[in-house]
Amino acid sequence: MDDIYLDKNENPFNVPEKVRKEFINYVKTANFNRYPEKWLPSLTKKLAGLTGFDIDNIIVTNGSDELLDMLIKHAAGDMVISSPTFEMYSFYARNYGYNVIDVPLRSDFSLDVDGILKQKDAKLVVICSPNNPSGNLMDRESIKKVLDSGVTTILDNAYYEFSGEDYTDLLAKYKNLIILRTLSKAFSLAGMRIGYGIADSGFISELKKLQAPFYMNILSARMAEIMIDNYDLIGEKIRYIINERERVYSEIKDIAYPSSANFLLIKKDIYDYMEEKGIHIRKLPLVKDRSRLTIGTKEENDRAIEAIHEYIEKIF
Ligand code: PMP
């Protein structure tokens, strides 16, 4: 049996055939000798249409990783995170020599708002919702309390499409908020590296000052546009993944937490056990006795469920 990869929260589906064809047609006549249009007006417009915002409220980046990098560099000071969470926040802060203050999530993975608000010197707070790796959404009222303090806040919403929770209405009130999204997950474009942020136009224009005019290649930008034009095809896959997430969870709920994303946090470290079966999952070096399973295709999930059932029989 072939190995399967349920380790990076990727979409198990490649881009739809229709999208691939449109992209290949573009490649046939693309002007590779020319620079992209400065700041990608066409893609920015499509993202504005997709999200219901103006182009001035959108910044497009090379993966949302690049946006995190820019935001952390821009904040230039102590950053608050709530572990367990996405490791790249600390990676960038450390690269710039900024302090990372960890105010851990509570045992039910909710935000410790009072703990965050005590960090008076913080220049930046990062809230990940749905959180990677715990999979849960953060409560709106808690997020608002953090925003009310006025501190610049990143709401990392990379798994938005699987969650059914839209926080963009908060942007009308809070100019200190930026919502980070990506085309790597629901849009099946992890290999193309496209992320974006939505925020107040003043905040976006500050950030754009840090960005070179020709930062993204024309192929990634065009592929993103084609995918957005075919959003109906993506919607089908999102529903499939959500249904599979619920099915897998109901099968293994003795050792998994519920999730609003495209992965499940497992209450045991089953990494080595799954590796032996050719099922690659995420080890989570910073989270003791846990591991993370990405939702794949039905067939892949069946293999994971079977392996985990065997594991449960052994330990209980
Ligand atoms: N935020 C979170 C919470 C993530 O899990 C990831 C990817 N694993 C990212 C951001 C970055 O995604 P990308 O750079 O592919 O847009």
Cα 40 to middle of ligand 1, angstroms: 21
Tokens of 23: 């992209």
Instruction: From the CA of 183, give the closest atom in ligand 1.
Output: 16
Query: Exposed, middle or buried, 276 (CB in 10 Å: 0-12/13-18/19+)?
Result: exposed
- List Cα–Cα distances, 313 to 83, 252, 276, in angstroms: 31, 11, 17
Pairing of strands 177-182, 195-199: antiparallel
Q: Does ligand 1 come within 6 angstroms of the Cβ of 85?
A: no
Cα 233 to middle of ligand 1, angstroms: 22
Q: What kind and span of H or E run contains 195? A: strand 195-199
Q: Report the chain's terminal Cα–Cα distance, integer Å.
A: 28
| pLDDT tens for each residue of 112-168 | 999 999 999 999 999 999 999 999 999 999 999 999 999 999 999 999 999 989 999
Pocket test for ligand 1, best of 69, 160, 184 (most atoms within 8 A of CB): 184
- Would you say 228 and 46 are in contact if contact means Cβ atoms under 8 Å apart? yes
CA gyration radius for the chain? 20
Full set of structural domains in the chain with CATH: 4-13+232-315 (3.90.1150.10), 31-229 (3.40.640.10)
Instruction: From the CA of 85, give the closest atom in ligand 1.
Output: 3
Cα 281 to middle of ligand 1, angstroms: 16
pTM of this structure: 0.97
| pLDDT tens for each residue of 207-263 | 999 998 898 999 999 999 999 999 999 999 999 999 999 999 999 999 999 999 999
pLDDT of residue 285: 87
- List Cα–Cα distances, 86 to 8, 81, 285, in angstroms: 12, 9, 12
Burial 68-98 (b: 16+ CB within 10 A, else e): bbbbbebbeebbbbbbbbbebbbebbeeeeb
Amino acid in the structure at residue 306? E
DSSP assigned state of 282:
B
- List Cα–Cα distances, 275 to 48, 66, 280, in angstroms: 42, 31, 5
